[in-house]
């Protein structure tokens, strides 16, 4: 059930809920996904992966594999050229080290994690390819595996990369210890802050590695032509990034590569990097045939990019009035086998929603023998919110202040600077927290044994950046808009709605297409909740260009000045002659006789995606005999600026909550002592199913984002950040134990309960 | 061997001969052609075609076909909606009647020619589909077939279409008789012209129906999605036209259809209409599965669009000085089963290259029971040139003037009006004829028995019109240009060369892609020699837009005024600071830090493609015992304005000559008395093979076309118009007989020879 606080702004299309054009085809599988690609003479590729978490490769023999009938090509790292030296925009927000990326796709001298690709085979069918991969013999010298951040940061830890360039999303880091980079942001006087504080809470937290768990695995088909032109059909959330990374790894011109986007069966941040694509490309080059490769779930969990496990320390202090005075946090985030994890985003979102005059935010980007981490919905923030919002709850309890009141006292408001360093643009934090306070869920009593209520308040930046759109008007008045953004979350519709709004026509008249990298202007991946925002602005901009051209056509037909032609909600009129009037359709039909087709293009790079705020309210019941936590009631409050399609926004909010509950209660990578992953299927890696997922009520608030013509702010990510903390707070409210590790599985909860009971004697 | 008269104009790329990027893939079949498309659950469709040239359909029973296991859908005309009422730009130059087009794709109440589609079937494989088609029973009432223009124009002729809208390429016509439309252009005083003439020649000519003979047949795959979005993978020379025609026939919005262009195995004018596409679409809708359909050669010859057979009357007069005074022509061209043949183009190109003060040009567009005709390389002109250039030769002989001298006396020059009605833009007719006169081939003696030399002089308008291009600059300085023009003749390269010229970079840095109809702006089909001209101008225009944006970036980096930044042959410089300089590549690499990706779009509609002139010189030997004509030497002279890629231009010239020799010596549709086509394979429909084709020397002249920045004029068509007349004139020169019918097959020549010998007794 969705509740929208409607804003009166004269929008005709934005804010409505038309049926998505591709829904039925997507759910019936009729839509074209990456695995639906078949090419003549196509081969199938398989990867040989490391069974060790950390080892030297002393020798590889591919002789037997190559000799197997039906095998057309076998490759190892030696088949690849030196990667191109990094250039601007390699597609992972520009932060990717192309050499690391190449090394991650196929191991050179060492394997850095269980599942690291070592060799690949292309054969007539997947079975022969798999058999051949099994015939490749690798001589390993097994090395000590480093499996958690504490041991990785120890001075005595084995050095994983002799010389690595410390880095992290959003920020560079300085080298700190054998396997870590460090960064810090601070302000005010941390010592004075704590000395003035009358209530201080200091806690440590642990979270485990978790995967985005997209249902569709990684699938790619690559054709390498005789003239070194490469066509790639692949499932990604950013096909320009895939192209740029491929160009770098294969060291060939970007223009030679055409990446054709396909429908996506989930991504959540995990599908903007190449894994199979360079292998399929090299196998295609070597065999002279197109090559298709698809990962099993085992490969997806072992060898693609999960989110970081962490070790987090939080110390926060407030005065008796419940005013926060100081925060000192030190977060160590897993980067996986190569530097570049989300720790900067983690510490920068840890306390940003509060005004805390004195703070020190320290982060460590820690290399260890796990797969290279990737963004996962509000990357880094879910971990940091688990820590900080639990401490906030404990502070509120100590201060005997209602947790919402406590957050209201300290909430960042429009214009506040502090951690941001610049005045916060229009933001609806206060309205959001007030909405929680006055909501029936918050006001209703919670009866029953072992039941508790928890709340958490969250923040996420979101992203803007480069998007392109091309718009063509057809003779029948219909319109197609081609953009560089794939549809991960219904954006095919939300972009059509924004174009239709600007053109003053019905959304059913607008077809939105995702163009391949040779057909459309550069567009950053669908990440940072940017597509509906930034690509939306590209669609509005190109629509306005088209309207300008059509006004010129109308002026020409009527032989009047451009200035005399007005355009209002789809109708072109002559100020001075009421007989002069065209609907959009009527004028479109005249294009041939007025100078030919009407088309326009726009490449924009808007910033100011608008910060995302959300509050999550949850009621739980704890089974003290098993430790099982059951969700009784779930409500998410979120400010989205303007909900272009409220149903989709609710879907994003509910999806984020379910994923957050997965982090909270079940999901974790379980590693054996030798550093190999033990739970490599969805039976063992326990994501919430429909049975585990409560109905989440969504409350959409709309504080317009000044950075978007219709007030849209990103809406896709912040929903995930609160559930772990809110559930932990609810568990405390229910049974009086403070959970300080994720997941809060029955086993973990039961252990805490037993310790707790013991302590009470 | 190619001779290029180089013009000194400071071009760096245009005029060179780089290797085509797609050559090897095209000749090895690795390139993706329409038949290479495979989709999951794809069905195969087959068509049931009429065995009668003209019949009423009384009943169709599809019961048995539908019941056959493996059959998923059977359709007839009753499955289709009423076509959308015609709107501007339905893709066949706007001249198509969508109802006729629909009727031509699948017969409604009557079949109008042998091979006319009556029903279609989709099944698991082509064999089942063919078997099922054979199980469909049709009850015909056979009607009298009308098989030649004379009988079609007789008042007593059966009426083929009760109410038809008379029409023709370039011009409307008035209804004339039961099955014909008529049009006329005249000037001066025709009677006075002939009374002043001292030499008059009047002749009649007959030509037969001929086919373009593209090697690749028609192939299409269509997927009709649940929400009525349709994706079409098809081989065409104008995928926007295919989309518009489909939208009309299926009566759905244009934006719902995406036509994806593929490599083309020849078209020559015959691939801008739908045949199978609407059938595959309806079969896909009915079956819920993608459907592929491919024509056999039998189907291509019987049911696609050949060029018109004709009956032509010519009367021309000159004075003793060899000055042409009058021309009176009356040409009847086959339109096939529906109105709209190329007769207007035929009569408008008949005498245009000459200044004839008094003229009457009459044309008839004649409907009969043959397949609907389609354009074929300089549509209508090959027939008209055969007639007029033969008469010109006879006049020259009567006047005892060298045939080139005779044409020089009367040749249209820059600024002349007459038939054109407007002053002729820069044209090199005189230079061209002088080049023939001074060429070694023309000056060399021709020794030997039964040998003769013939010449003909030809004209073609060509076309301009709407083309779109989008250009994106990559971070590595490479560039992709996406246009709406498919590559039929190496235009992938000639467009890249023009973009590279404008950008001042190497052509190897530019990738040209053909966009689908949902990705790129509207672009007219590859016809009328327009692609290198009009789409070339789109590429130059969009390149200039990009350069302007890059000058802005450079000005920003150097903090100087836009005006102070210069761009010369790929280098950006600061007028006032010699240290300020970027190559294109250097500046491209900075796009991220200077505002994001650099892209632009252009939709242009240039006219003034520039007229095409050519002269063809041929030596033949006639075997008087068999009538076989052997080509001894072959030279084509053509003015192309500017040869963007001289080797490709020569290829176009040589290809046109070979097709013209096919018309001259071998090709014809042979119909049985019942109106069914007898020669439905390439064994019986005799196109020139490599063994029949002489080496044709090409002489390229370059009189710059003022309508194009680099002087380019269309180059693809005029090469075909002269060979039939030149060969006829050479045969006369060799053995003294005047051939007045095509083809001049051994049989035809022998009959003439025997009559001639008889006459000499």
Query: Which band of pLDDT confidence, cut at 50, 70 and 90, is reported for residue A418?
Result: confident
User: What percent of the residues of chain B are helix, what percent strand, and what percent coil, each to the nearest 5?
Assistant: 30, 25, 45
Start-to-end CA distance of chain A, whole Å, equals 46
Assess whether the previous peptide bond of B743 is cis (omega < 30° from 0).
Answer: yes
Chain B residue with CA closest to A519: the answer is: B482
DSSP state of A343: H
Work out the minimum CA distance from B23 to partner chain A, whole angstroms.
9
Q: What is the pLDDT of residues A530-583, one digit of tens each?
A: 999 999 999 999 999 999 999 999 999 999 999 999 999 899 999 999 999 999
Chain-wide mean pLDDT for chain B? Answer: 94
Kindly state the average pLDDT of the residues B41-66.
98
Question: In the predicted model, is pLDDT for residue B2 greater than 80?
Answer: no
Q: What is the pLDDT of residues A11-25, one digit of tens each?
A: 999 999 999 888 888
Instruction: Please judge whether A596 and B511 are an interchain contact, meaning their C-beta atoms are less than 8 angstroms apart.
Output: no
Query: Which band of pLDDT confidence, cut at 50, 70 and 90, is reported for residue B370?
Result: very high
Question: In the predicted model, is pLDDT for residue A87 greater than 70?
Answer: no
Interatomic CA distance for residues A476 and A29, integer angstroms: 31
Q: What is the pLDDT of residues B271-281, one digit of tens each?
A: 999 999 999 99
| B87 vs A22, A256, A476: nearest CB | A476
Q: Strand, coil or helix: what is B462?
A: coil
pLDDT value at residue A427: 94
Q: What are phi and psi of B154, to 5 degrees?
A: -65, 140
Q: What is the pLDDT of residues B613-663, one digit of tens each?
A: 999 999 999 999 999 999 999 999 999 999 999 999 999 999 999 999 999
The tally of CA atoms less than 13 A away on the side-chain side of residue A483 is 35
Q: What is the share, in percent, of chain B residues with pLDDT greater than 70?
A: 97
Q: What is the pLDDT of residues B393-409, one digit of tens each?
A: 999 999 999 999 999 99
B9-33 b/e (C-beta count within 10 Å ≥ 16 → b):
eebebbbebeebbbeebbeeebbbb
Question: In the predicted model, is pLDDT for residue A421 greater than 90?
Answer: no
**Size of the A and B interface in Cβ pairs below 8 Å:** 197
Q: What are phi and psi of B639, to 5 degrees?
A: -95, 115
DSSP result, B115-162: T-EEEEEEESSHHHHHHHHHH-EEEEEE-----SHHHHHSTTSPPS-S
> Residue A415: how many CB atoms within 10 A of its CB?
10
β-strands A291-294, A43-49: how paired? parallel
Interatomic CA distance for residues A175 and A417, integer angstroms: 29
Query: Which band of pLDDT confidence, cut at 50, 70 and 90, is reported for residue A462?
Result: confident
Interatomic CA distance for residues B5 and A127, integer angstroms: 61
Chain A CB contacts of B472 below 8 Å: 468, 520-522
Instruction: Please judge whether B604 and A596 are an interchain contact, meaning their C-beta atoms are less than 8 angstroms apart.
Output: yes
Q: How many residues does chain B have?
A: 761
Interatomic CA distance for residues B339 and B358, integer angstroms: 29
Residue B634 CA, distance from chain mean position: 23
Question: In the predicted model, is pLDDT for residue A121 greater than 80?
Answer: yes
Instruction: Please judge whether B478 and A254 are an interchain contact, meaning their C-beta atoms are less than 8 angstroms apart.
Output: yes
Question: In the predicted model, is pLDDT for residue B45 greater than 60?
Answer: yes
pLDDT value at residue B4: 38
Interatomic CA distance for residues B115 and B53, integer angstroms: 8
pLDDT value at residue A761: 58
Torsion of CA B65, B69, B73, B75, to 10 degrees: -10
Handedness of CA A390, A392, A398, A400 (dihedral sign): negative
Q: What is the pLDDT of residues B7-39, one digit of tens each?
A: 345 899 999 999 988 888 888 888 999 999 999
| B30 vs A90, A225, A475: nearest CB | A225
Query: Which band of pLDDT confidence, cut at 50, 70 and 90, is reported for residue B609?
Result: confident
Residue A367 CA, distance from chain mean position: 21
Query: Which band of pLDDT confidence, cut at 50, 70 and 90, is reported for residue A760?
Result: low
> Residue A676: how many CB atoms within 10 A of its CB?
17
Contact B190, B330 (CB under 8 A): no
Contact B45, B121 (CB under 8 A): yes
Instruction: Please judge whether B22 and A227 are an interchain contact, meaning their C-beta atoms are less than 8 angstroms apart.
Output: yes
Kindly state the average pLDDT of the residues B750-758.
92
Query: Which band of pLDDT confidence, cut at 50, 70 and 90, is reported for residue A607?
Result: confident
Rounded to whole angstroms, what are the CA distances from A484 to A259, A469, A490? Answer: 11, 7, 15
Instruction: Please judge whether A39 and B38 are an interchain contact, meaning their C-beta atoms are less than 8 angstroms apart.
Output: yes
CB burial class (10 A; 0-12, 13-18, 19+) of residue A421? Answer: exposed
Chain A CB contacts of B89 below 8 Å: 475, 591-592
Instruction: Please judge whether B520 and A38 are an interchain contact, meaning their C-beta atoms are less than 8 angstroms apart.
Output: no
Interatomic CA distance for residues A279 and A119, integer angstroms: 9
Contact B741, B665 (CB under 8 A): no
Question: In the predicted model, is pLDDT for residue B89 greater than 50?
Answer: no
Chain A CB contacts of B38 below 8 Å: 38-40
Q: What is the pLDDT of residues B167-181, one digit of tens each?
A: 777 777 899 999 999
Instruction: Please judge whether A256 and B478 are an interchain contact, meaning their C-beta atoms are less than 8 angstroms apart.
Output: yes
B580-595 b/e (C-beta count within 10 Å ≥ 16 → b):
bebebbebbbbbbebb
pLDDT value at residue B96: 67
Question: In the predicted model, is pLDDT for residue B760 greater than 70?
Answer: no
Interatomic CA distance for residues B686 and B669, integer angstroms: 10
Name the token pair of B327: 């021309």
pLDDT value at residue B3: 39
Assess whether the previous peptide bond of A743 is cis (omega < 30° from 0).
Answer: yes
Chain B CB contacts of A229 below 8 Å: 21, 511
SS3 per residue for A179-244: CEEEEEEEECCHHHHHHHCCEEEEEEEEECCECCCCCCCCEEEEEECCCCCEEEEECCCCHHHHHH
Rg (CA), chain A: 27
Name the token pair of A617: 């309210």
Instruction: Please judge whether A476 and B229 are an interchain contact, meaning their C-beta atoms are less than 8 angstroms apart.
Output: no
Interatomic CA distance for residues A552 and A605, integer angstroms: 27
Orientation of helix A381-399 relative to helix A403-410, angle to 10°:
110
Q: What is the pLDDT of residues A390-403, one digit of tens each?
A: 999 999 999 999 99
Contact B720, B212 (CB under 8 A): no
CA angle B36, B42, B46 (to 5 degrees): 85
> Which residue, among A286, A309, A426, A428, has the nearest Cα to A368 in the 3D structure?
A309
> Which residue, among A671, A46, A574, A41, has the nearest Cα to A371 in the 3D structure?
A671
Q: What is the share, in percent, of chain B residues with pLDDT greater than 90?
A: 88
Kindly state the average pLDDT of the residues B306-332.
98
Interatomic CA distance for residues A612 and A615, integer angstroms: 10
Rounded to whole angstroms, what are the CA distances from B472 to A457, B206, B501? Answer: 43, 53, 16
pLDDT value at residue A648: 96
Work out the minimum CA distance from B472 to partner chain A, whole angstroms.
6
| B247 vs A227, A476, A592: nearest CB | A476
Rounded to whole angstroms, what are the CA distances from B107 to A81, B76, B102, B678? Answer: 59, 8, 8, 22
pLDDT value at residue B596: 87
Question: In the predicted model, is pLDDT for residue B592 greater than 90?
Answer: no
Contact A464, A530 (CB under 8 A): yes
Question: In the predicted model, is pLDDT for residue B6 greater than 50?
Answer: no
Query: Which band of pLDDT confidence, cut at 50, 70 and 90, is reported for residue B761?
Result: low
Name the token pair of B36: 């290479």
Contact B243, B96 (CB under 8 A): no
Q: What is the pLDDT of residues B698-742, one digit of tens each?
A: 999 999 999 999 999 999 999 999 999 999 999 999 999 999 999
Name the token pair of B371: 């397949």
Q: Strand, coil or helix: what is B646?
A: helix
DSSP state of A307: B
């Amino acid at each position: 059930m969705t509740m929208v606080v409607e804003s009166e702004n004269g929008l005709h299309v934005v804010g409505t809920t038309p049926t998505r054009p591709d829904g039925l085809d997507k759910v019936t599988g009729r839509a074209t996904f990456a695995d639906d690609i078949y090419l003549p003479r196509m081969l199938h590729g398989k990867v040989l992966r490391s069974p060790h978490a950390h080892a030297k490769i002393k020798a590889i023999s591919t002789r037997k594999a190559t000799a197997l009938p039906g095998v057309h090509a076998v490759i190892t790292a030696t088949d690849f050229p030196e990667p191109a030296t990094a250039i601007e925009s390699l597609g992972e927000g520009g932060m990717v080290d192309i050499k690391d990326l190449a090394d991650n796709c196929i191991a050179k001298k060492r394997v850095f994690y269980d599942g690291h690709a070592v060799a690949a085979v292309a054969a007539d069918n997947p079975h022969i390819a798999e058999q051949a991969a099994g015939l490749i013999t690798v001589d390993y010298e097994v090395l000590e595996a480093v499996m958690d951040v504490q041991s990785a940061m120890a001075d005595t830890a084995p050095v994983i990369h002799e010389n690595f360039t410390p880095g992290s999303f959003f920020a560079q880091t300085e080298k700190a210890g054998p396997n870590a980079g460090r960064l810090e942001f601070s302000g005010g006087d941390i010592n004075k802050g704590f000395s003035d504080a009358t209530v201080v809470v200091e806690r440590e937290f642990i979270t485990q590695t978790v995967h985005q768990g997209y249902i569709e695995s990684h699938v790619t088909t690559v054709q390498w032509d005789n003239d070194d032109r490469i066509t790639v059909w692949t499932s990604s959330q950013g096909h320009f990034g895939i192209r740029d990374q491929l160009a770098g790894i294969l060291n060939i011109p970007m223009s030679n590569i055409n990446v054709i986007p396909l429908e996506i069966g989930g991504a959540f941040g995990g599908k903007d990097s190449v894994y199979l694509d360079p292998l399929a490309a090299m196998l295609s080059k070597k065999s002279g045939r197109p090559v298709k490769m698809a990962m099993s779930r085992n490969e997806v969990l072992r060898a693609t990019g999960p989110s970081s496990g962490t070790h987090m320390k939080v110390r926060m202090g407030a005065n008796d009035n419940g005013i926060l005075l100081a925060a000192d946090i030190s977060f160590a985030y897993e980067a996986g086998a190569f530097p570049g994890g989300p720790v900067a985003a983690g510490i920068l979102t840890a306390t940003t929603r509060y005004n805390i005059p004195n703070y020190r935010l320290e982060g460590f980007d820690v290399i260890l023998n796990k797969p290279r981490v990737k963004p996962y919905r509000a990357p880094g923030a879910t971990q940091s919110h688990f820590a900080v919002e639990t401490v906030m709850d404990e502070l509120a309890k100590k201060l005997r202040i209602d947790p919402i009141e406590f957050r209201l006292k300290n909430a960042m408001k429009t214009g506040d600077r502090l951690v941001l360093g610049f005045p916060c643009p229009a933001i609806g934090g206060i309205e959001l927290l007030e909405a929680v306070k006055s909501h029936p869920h918050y006001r209703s009593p919670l009866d029953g044994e072992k039941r508790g209520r928890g709340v958490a308040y969250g923040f996420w930046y979101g992203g803007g950046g480069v998007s392109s759109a091309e718009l063509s008007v057809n003779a029948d008045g219909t319109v197609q808009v081609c953009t560089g953004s794939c549809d991960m979350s219904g954006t095919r519709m939300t972009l059509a709605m924004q174009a239709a709004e600007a053109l003053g026509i019905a959304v059913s008249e607008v077809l939105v297409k995702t163009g391949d990298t040779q057909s459309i202007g550069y567009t950053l991946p669908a990440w940072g909740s940017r597509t509906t925002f930034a690509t939306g602005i590209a669609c509005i901009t190109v629509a306005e260009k088209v309207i300008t051209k059509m006004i010129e056509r109308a002026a020409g037909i009527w032989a009047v000045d451009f200035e005399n032609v007005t355009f209002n909600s789809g109708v072109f009129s002559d100020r001075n002659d009421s007989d002069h009037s065209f609907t959009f359709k009527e004028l479109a039909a005249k294009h041939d006789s007025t100078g030919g087709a009407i088309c326009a293009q726009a490449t924009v790079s808007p910033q100011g995606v608008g910060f995302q705020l959300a509050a999550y309210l949850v009621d739980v019941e704890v089974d003290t005999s098993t430790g099982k936590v059951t969700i009784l009631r779930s409500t998410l409050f979120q400010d989205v600026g303007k909900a272009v399609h409220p149903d989709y926004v609710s879907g994003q909010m509910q999806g984020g909550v379910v994923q957050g509950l997965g982090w909270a209660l079940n999901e974790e990578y379980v590693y054996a002592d030798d550093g190999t992953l033990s739970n490599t299927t969805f039976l063992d890696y326990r994501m919430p199913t429909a049975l585990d997922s409560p109905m989440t009520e969504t409350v959409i608030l709309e504080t317009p984002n000044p950075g978007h013509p219709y007030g849209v702010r990103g809406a896709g990510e912040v929903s995930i950040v609160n559930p772990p903390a809110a559930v932990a707070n609810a568990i405390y409210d229910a049974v009086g134990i403070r959970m300080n590790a994720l997941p809060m599985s029955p086993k973990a909860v039961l252990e805490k309960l037993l310790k707790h009971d013991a302590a009470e004697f």
